């Protein structure tokens, strides 16, 4: 079986990193979001157009390259992180790839995401793969430690080898409308990251309104964020299509004004292949094919890969395998 698929392993195109811009409070105050319109648009994703058969399987292989394989549990251990990294090295069983005619393709996840404590473990376990390690930082998930502590944590993760840093903002700054404070903190975090890319987690489920989410997205991008991300995965409400549409449209507006392409990462609750396909369709329709690349789009997920692997095997055999045939850790 050979999939109708473009090469998912093309090297990352030349991408200009966000240099950061002065805080434009006039721009921030102009931001308004119509929740009803957003809900109508989000409800149309997956209803009007779907990918089928071989094309769907090809999209799912593409989705694997945009997953941040994640373990952020209180009982994480070096052993669990090493097993997750082993899965990252071989995300899909070789026999499945061979039957799709994809055995010679380099299909690997976008990153492995862990707590700072396990950055060194993950870096060693992924040596030679080119898979970056992402570290959650800045008092994840609440973000309420002293700023000096948060900056020290970022610097420690970068020193240990993290190439991406997922920081969390202080949600109170957004709820108070203290945009200068939010801008200053994110700018300081970006400086501490150095060459490591910074993903700003907004904690959207705790920001009350779509307008707040949009304004926070803009301020983080102005401060130099490489990605904006929905959630820590620990909130009651995590990623959803309405919030994603809000953030994606701010990314589009930012690109129109500055020429800089910012990445997007929905996280929390994305567990099925159907979920992944909806988010990919949203990105394609709102931002274009160029955003369906690991340097501009990631899923923050821990169980999504298992479901994708089951779907791929179903495409070959017509039967769904038991979960234990595609163990994560």
Which residue is catalytic, options 229, 275, 278, 307?
229
| 284 classed as catalytic | no
| 166 classed as catalytic | yes
| 150 classed as catalytic | no
Which residue is catalytic, options 68, 150, 166, 215?
166
Cβ atoms within 10 A of the Cβ of 260, count?
Answer: 18
Strand 227-229 versus strand 197-201 pairing type: parallel
Which residue is catalytic, options 87, 163, 199, 265?
265
Task: Kindly report the three-state secondary structure assignment for every residue of the chain.
Answer: CCCCCCCCCCCCCCCCCCCCCCCCHHHHHHCCCCHHHHHHHHHCCCCCCCCCHHHHHHHHHHHHCCEEEECCCCCCCHHHHHHHHHHHHCCCCHHHHHHCCCCCCCCCCCEEEEEHHHHHHHHHHCCCCCCCEEEECCCCCCCCCCHHHHHHHHHHHHHHCCCEEEEECCHHHHHHCCHHHHHHHHHHHHHHHCCCEEEEECCHHHCCCHHHHHHHHHHHHHCCCCEEECCCCCCCCCCCHHHHHHHHHHHHHHHHHHCCCCEEECECCCCCHHHHHHHHHHHHHHHCHHHCCCCCECEEECCHHHHHHHHHHHHHHCCCCCHHHCCCC
φ, ψ for residue 301, nearest 5 deg: -155, 155
Which residues are marked as active site? Answer: 166, 229, 265
């Amino acid at each position: 079986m050979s999939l109708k698929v473009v090469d998912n392993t093309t090297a990352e195109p030349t991408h200009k990193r966000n240099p950061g811009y002065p805080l434009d409070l006039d721009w921030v105050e102009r931001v308004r979001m119509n929740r009803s319109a957003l809900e109508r648009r989000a409800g149309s994703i997956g209803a009007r157009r779907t990918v089928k058969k071989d094309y769907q399987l090809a999209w799912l292989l593409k989705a694997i390259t945009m997953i941040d394989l994640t373990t952020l549990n209180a009982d994480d251990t070096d052993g669990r992180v090493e097993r997750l990294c082993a899965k990252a090295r071989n995300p899909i069983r070789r026999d499945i790839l061979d039957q799709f005619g994809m055995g010679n393709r380099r299909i690997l996840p976008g990153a492995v995401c862990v707590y700072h404590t396990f950055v060194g473990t993950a870096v060693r376990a992924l040596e030679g793969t080119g898979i970056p390690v992402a570290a959650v930082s800045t008092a994840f998930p609440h973000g309420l430690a002293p700023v000096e502590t948060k900056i020290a944590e970022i610097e420690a993760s970068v020193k240990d080898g993290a190439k991406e840093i997922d920081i969390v903002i202080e949600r109170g700054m957004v709820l108070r409308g203290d945009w200068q404070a939010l801008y200053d903190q994110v700018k300081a975090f970006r400086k501490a990251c150095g060459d490591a890319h910074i993903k700003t987690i907004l904690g959207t489920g705790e920001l009350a309104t779509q307008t707040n989410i949009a304004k926070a997205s803009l301020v983080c991008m102005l401060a130099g964020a490489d990605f904006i991300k929905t959630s820590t995965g620990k909130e009651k409400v995590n990623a959803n299509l309405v919030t994603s549409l809000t953030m994606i449209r701010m990314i589009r507006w930012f690109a129109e004004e500055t020429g800089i392409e910012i990445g997007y990462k929905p996280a929390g609750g994305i567990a099925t292949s159907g979920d992944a396909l909806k988010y990919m369709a949203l990105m394609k329709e709102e931002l274009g094919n160029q955003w369906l690349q690991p340097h501009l789009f990631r899923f923050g997920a821990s169980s999504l890969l298992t479901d994708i692997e089951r779907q791929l095997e179903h495409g070959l055999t017509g039967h769904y395998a038991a979960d234990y045939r595609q163990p994560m850790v």
